Structure 1
Amino acid sequence: MIPANLIRRAEEYIDSGAFFAELSTMVGYPTESSRPEGYVAVKAYLDEVLVPALTQLGCSVAEYANPDSSGGPFLVGTRMESPELPTLLCYGHADVVDGHAGQWSDGRDPWVLTADGDRWYGRGSADNKGQHLVNLAALRLLLDEQGALGFNLTFLFETGEEIGSPGLAAFAAAHRDLLRADVLIASDGPRLDAAAPTLFLGARGGVRLRLDVDLRPDSYHSGNWGGVLRNPATTLAGAIASLVDGHGRIQVPALLPPELPDSVRAALAGVTVAGSPGDPAPDEGWGESGLTAAERLYGWNTLEVLALGSADIDHPVNAIPGRARAVLQLRYVAGTDVDRVPEAVAGHLAAHGYPMVDVTVLRSFPASRTPLDDPWVRWARTTLEQVTGEPVAVLPNIGGSLPHHVFTDILGLPTLWLPHSYPGCLQHAPDEHLLGTIARQGIVLAAALFHALGHPSADHPLPARAQVHPPLPVPRSA
């Protein structure tokens, strides 16, 4: 069990305002990876915040150039206590999305951490600076309390997660020895809800598709040519409806997972989606029939229309447009074969009378997950439930995306994600915020996991040491 004194010190770190002050400094760096000028702030954040934080943990720290010129550098801190001890890999990302300055409520500045009750507003407060600060602080408290961690530590920071983690897979493949570990424990993404301590084990993948119906360069009078010329907007609407119907059900078998595994169904039994105040209620009759909301979100695939347009919707004229376009996204779970998604979509459209619809893959990222029956999952769940005294939600994956496949498929690691945010945190939007109550509980949970890793016992041993994994190729994107 985690010592009571460590729990007390972790809670005092939040209650005293020390965590808020430290996070305030971090939020003040506008580390927007979508803007070229953001990398000046990224570099300063690495040098002035993360290097000192890792050095304080007794880590040797090195910065590595990104093998992909579109991405920023990687920072790795390593602390070796003994080759006989297990090695923990932690991960975080220093970059944030666009700050949306001028769009925040009550005139808030995205680069100034502002408290309003339990909500601490600021860009990066939840994604991901507040989350990796929880883990850095928990490690620091553990080290201060006992003079050693009881395990070896490698902490990896990337600087381009919000733009798709360019170069991360190649970096990991080239530095397997540097990143070798027994387990990954990291924090990103949301809990199931604000009140539910959560572990998740992976992430859904995504394939973004553009459908383009480009029939002619000009628009023609709808009275003189209606019923004679094919309307690209009408064509596109029909084409989309053949892929996903008006109730959100995928109509193309090739875009579906092979099954909903019994282990996933059992893990999601009783899981409630949208359990926090202010969450939108799931719509009845939407999505795959016969599945619960949790199964649709965490265990199944969805095809969503992200954008749809033809002509000028705000100023329409009486003319048949010449072109219509839409962007769709397939969110898919591990086990789905996505190698031939564009061919499957184009073939389906042609078979349904829409060969004039051009299909292009704009972007993709893989899905992966650690098996629910992995012994590390049982170990972590038991540890956390000893601290909370209540059940911990264990999700096979989150509905969103992370570069999770890098850790499972390239480094061969079991992965434990302990999120310190919640679905309503407004990450990626104006008014992003971290809940102080989650930070307070989160630092205790993180400290408990780290303490248990360094203090195995007869009745709560660590899983068997990881075997040396053979080199794996960098996974091919869809």
Structure 2
Amino acid sequence: MVPEQLVCKAEEFVDSGGFFTELASMVAYPTESARPEGRVALDAYLDEVLAPALAGLGCRVTRYESPDAAGPFLLGSRIESPELPTVLCYGHADVVEGQAGRWREGRDPWTLTAEGDRWYGRGAADNKGQHLVNLAALRLLLAERGALGFNLKFLFESGEEIGSPGLAEFAAAHRDELRADVLLASDGPRVDAATPTLFLGARGGVQLLLDADLRPDSYHSGNWGGVLRNPATTLAGAIATLVDGHGRIRVPALLPPAVADAVREALTGIAVAGGAGDPVPDEGWGEPGLSAAERLYAWNTLEVLGLGAGDVDHPVNAIPGRARAVLQLRYVAGTDVGGAARAVAEHLAEHGYPMVDVRLLGSFAASRTPLDDPWARWARTALERVAGRPVAVLPNIGGSLPNAVFTDVLGLPTLWLPHSYPGCLQHAPDEHLLASVAREGMALATGLFHALGHPPAGLPLPARA
């Protein structure tokens, strides 16, 4: 069992204000990877915050520059013994744009602000507050025991918010430095604020541009209506053959395999949108016969992200010459998306819309560690001993993370212990971390790291590969 005094110290780090103070100093760095000026802040954050934090854990710290990446990679490595298991941790130093001026109550995205249980600031939830939980938990364990009891490698990247450019190539080129037995990382949300959660992967995404570019000019709708094909009407009809008005995918090639029994069992009883302020899932939307949790975590969705023709705010009496839409397929592991753009184009042609051009804009991979993986079973048991209640285990989250780099490139089982919740407003104004979730996250992370280095009776670590 985890020593009670260690859990108390983890919780006290939050209660005393120590966590808030440290997070405030991290949030103050405007590490926006999508903005050129963010590179300066990223460099400073790596050099002034993360490198010293890793060195404080007794890590040898190496900074790697990469022409393919948004910024440097930082790797901390502490090897206590070749005989011990090795844990790879991961976090990202970058954040999305701060969106200053759009936060309520005049909040500054780069100033951590406490209002009740909510701590507002860009990166508070995604991902600075989450990697601080893990860094602080490791620090507490090391101070308490004098050793971790396992080998630690901690990788930070600078471009997760823009698709992790260069991360897969970096991992492939540095396999030996990143070699480990398991990945343990924190990002994304829990099922809800009250439910400790462990997830094992992420959905992938394919983004497509549909373009009905029929003529260079617009023509008077009275003089030409009924004679000229309307690209907006054409595009609306084309989209309706791909995904109907109730959110059901109509292209067989874009559907996943049937939901596996183990996945269905894992999602039994998982509620979606259980927090205050969450939107209510719409009845009759999405694939029939599935629960809301199965539609979110175990199925594919085709979403229209943008749709436009003419000037909606100031329409004129003219048939537009062009209409465009951006669609995104969110898909689970096991879906073959290699020919997604071609499949959509062929489907549209078969349904009478060969004039709609289909272009792939980008993609990111889906991946998942099996639910019956020994590390997943071990981590669930260890976490439930700390939490004193059930832990929700998800096959993957609905969103995206570079999990495939760790499963497919490095061949690792992946365990994600999130310290945020769905209503945290990440990527939007008023992003926040819940103090209550940070407090429990500190206890859970400290307990899990303790169990890794000092396995309790009846809970031996999985056999090393």
TM-score, normalization by structure 1: 0.97
- Counting matched residue pairs gives 465
Shift of 1:197: 0.1
Secondary structure at the aligned position of 2:96 is classed as: coil
- Residues 56-455 of structure 1 mapped to structure 2, 5 A cutoff: 56-68=56-68, 70-455=69-454
Structure 1 residue 259: Cα displacement: 1.3
Structure-2 separation of matches of 1:391 and 1:10: 20
Instruction: Name the counterpart of 1:44.
Output: 44
Q: Post-superposition shift, 1:389?
A: 1.4
| Corresponding letter in the other structure for 2:38 | G
User: What is the aligned partner in structure 1 of residue 20 from structure 2?
Assistant: 20
Query: Retained in 2: the 8 A contact 1:67–1:170?
Result: no
TM-score of the superposed pair, with normalisation by structure 2: 0.99
Report deviation, 1:71: 1.6
Shift of 1:458: 4.5
Q: Which amino acid aligns with 1:390?
A: R
- Cα distance in 2 for partners of 1:433, 1:60 equals 32
> What stretches of structure 2 of length at least 5 have no aligned partner?
none
Aligned AA for 1:6? L
CA distance in 2, matches of 1:267, 1:10: 30
Flag structure 1 segments of 5+ consecutive residues without an equivalent. 467-478
**How far 1:88 sits from its partner (Å)?**
0.5
For the Cα contact (< 8 Å) 1:67–1:171, is it kept in 2?
A: no
User: Which stretch has the larger CA shift, 257-266 or 163-172?
Assistant: 257-266
Q: Deviations over 1:412-451 (max 9, x none)?
A: 0001000000000000000000000000000100011100
The code of the aligned residue for 1:39 comes to R
Q: Which secondary structure state, in structure 2, belongs to the residue aligned with residue 185 of structure 1?
A: strand
Q: Deviations over 1:187-240 (max 9, x none)?
A: 000000000000000000000000000000000000110000000000000000
The Cα shift of 1:457 comes to 4.1
Per-residue displacement from partner, 1:114-136 (whole Å, max 9, x unpaired)?
A: 00000000000000000000000
C-alpha distance in structure 2 between counterparts of 1:384 and 1:460, whole Å: 11
Counterpart CA distance in 1 for 2:182 and 2:406 is 9
Q: Give the distance between the partners of 2:143 and 2:231, measured in 1 at CA.
A: 66
CA distance in 2, matches of 1:350, 1:94: 44
Question: One-letter code of the match for 1:32?
Answer: E
Distance 2:84 2:138 in 1: 16
Amino acid at match of 1:388: A
Residues 233-278 of structure 1 show CA distances to partners (whole Å, capped at 9, x for unaligned) of 0000000000000000000000000211111101001110001111
Fraction of identical pairs, as percent: 78
Compute the displacement of 1:328 (Å): 0.3
What is the rounded CA distance, in whole Å, between the counterparts of 1:418 and 1:55 in structure 2? 23
Preserved contact between residue 384 and residue 448 of structure 1 (Cα < 8 Å): yes
Structure 1 runs (4+) deviating above 6 angstroms are none
Q: Distance in 1 between matches of 2:286 and 2:67?
A: 40
| Structure 1 CA distance for aligned equivalents of residues 25 and 195 of structure 2 | 28
Helix, strand or coil: the match of 1:172? Answer: helix
Q: Distance in 2 between matches of 1:299 and 1:362?
A: 24
Rounded Cα–Cα distance in structure 2 between residues aligned with 1:196 and 1:361: 37
* Secondary structure class of the residue paired with 1:336: coil
Task: Report how far residue 361 of structure 1 moved.
Answer: 0.6
What secondary structure does 2:270 align onto?
coil
The AA in structure 2 aligned to 1:311 is G
User: Secondary structure of the residue that 1:337 maps to in structure 2?
Assistant: coil
Q: For residues 106 and 96 of structure 1, what CA distance do their matches in structure 2 show?
A: 21
Matched AA of 2:332: V
Deviations 1:373-428 (A, max 9, x none): 00101100001111111110000000000000000000000010000000000000
| C-alpha RMSD of matched pairs (Å) | 0.6
Opposite residue 56 of structure 1, the aligned amino acid is G
Q: Aligned to 2:5, what secondary structure does the other structure show?
A: helix
Amino acid at match of 1:140: R
Aligned counterparts of 2:310 and 2:317: Cα–Cα separation in 1: 11
Secondary structure class of the residue paired with 1:150: coil
Per-residue deviation, residues 336-390 of structure 1 (Å, max 9, x unmatched): 0001001100000000000000000101000000000001011000011111111
